[in-house]
């Protein structure tokens, strides 16, 4: 297998996956409730293909927080026990907050290895969000207690010493990436909810740092906090 960072969509290589839509910075946090329960076996297509090729420790990695105006970008790398699937695991955006919280604990208890890393707003401003996300993912992977045989990543090319397999919208198609997305989402949300106690004007407990109308109004009235990304908020504060 070519160990270059290959990216697939429905089995076909794609290119130019590193483009980032700046409009996501203004998107409200996704409040989608639970969809119809997905059988975790339906998210195992790629993992099963890789297992058939002899890969044992399959790592899924995902990020949360590329788009917000405030807070860190958080990345989780996880190696799951693929013989003991967790019912309810799905793309974190398709799972309600309450269900994510429960799945978070189950994933941590059943994972073969898991690592979560966050990059601060200062680091994001220094590196830019794309480079910070890649570095954050790399650090999460390299911090795992077990070396993965291969890494499944959601559409980013990473500089890591492991074979990689990329899937567009991987958090909705891969059990391993979906598991990583839930851990990253809950970790970051908890941080933002805690920051809301320090900075109550910005409604962080609801918007998670995204550029909602209430958040932008608070930025214009009160200015930026230490957890705002200076490179993201130039249109709202002087």
Per-residue model confidence (pLDDT) at position 238: 72
Structural tokens at position 101:
């919280």
The CATH homologous superfamily to which domain 6-190 belongs is Ribonuclease H-like superfamily/Ribonuclease H (3.30.420.10)
Here the tokens at position 121 are 């707003």
The mean per-residue pLDDT over the stretch 226-232 comes to 98
- Residue 228 pLDDT > 90, yes or no? yes
Q: What is the pLDDT of residue 232?
A: 97
pLDDT at 33: 54
Give pLDDT, residue 34.
Answer: 53
- % of residues, the chain, pLDDT over 70: 84
Q: Which two tokens stand for residue 164?
A: 């990689």
Q: Which two tokens stand for residue 208?
A: 């998670």
Task: Say how far apart CA 200 and CA 143 lie, in whole Å.
Answer: 34
Query: What are the sequence ranges of the domains in the chain?
Result: 6-190
Q: What is the pLDDT of residues 106-149, one digit of tens each?
A: 999 999 999 999 999 999 999 999 999 999 999 999 999 999 99
CA distance 237 to 235: 6
Q: Which residues contact 2 (CB under 8 A, 6 or more apart)?
A: none
CB atoms within 10 A of CB 103: 23
Find all residues with CB under 8 Å of 25, minimum gap 6, and list them: 67, 68, 69, 210, 211, 232
Say which residue, 180 or 157, is predicted with more confidence: 180
Quick one: pLDDT band at residue 156, thresholds 50, 70, 90? confident
Residues, the chain, total?
238
Position 158 pLDDT exceeds 80:
yes
Mean of the pLDDT values across residues 155-161? 91
């Amino acid at each position: 297998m070519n160990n270059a960072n290959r990216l697939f969509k429905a089995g076909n290589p794609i290119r130019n996956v590193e483009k980032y839509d700046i409009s996501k910075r203004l998107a409200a946090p996704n409040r989608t409730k639970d969809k119809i329960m997905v059988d975790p076996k339906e998210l195992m297509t790629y993992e099963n293909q890789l297992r058939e090729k002899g890969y044992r420790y399959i790592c899924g990695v995902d990020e949360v927080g590329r788009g917000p105006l405030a807070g860190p970008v958080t990345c989780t790398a996880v190696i799951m026990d693929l013989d003991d699937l967790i019912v309810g695991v799905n793309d974190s955006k398709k799972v309600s907050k309450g269900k994510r919280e429960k799945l978070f604990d189950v994933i941590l208890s059943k994972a073969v290895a898991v690592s979560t890393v966050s990059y601060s707003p200062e680091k994001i401003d220094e590196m830019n969000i794309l480079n910070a996300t890649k570095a954050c993912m790399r650090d999460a992977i390299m911090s795992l207690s077990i070396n993965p045989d291969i890494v499944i990543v959601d559409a980013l090319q990473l500089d890591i010493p492991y074979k990689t397999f990329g899937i567009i919208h991987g958090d909705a198609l891969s059990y391993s990436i979906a598991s990583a997305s839930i851990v990253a989402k809950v970790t970051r949300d908890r941080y933002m909810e805690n920051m809301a106690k320090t900075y109550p004007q910005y409604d962080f407990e609801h918007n998670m740092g995204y550029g909602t109308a209430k958040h932008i109004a608070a930025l214009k009235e009160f200015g930026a906090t230490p957890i705002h990304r200076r490179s993201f908020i130039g249109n709202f504060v002087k």
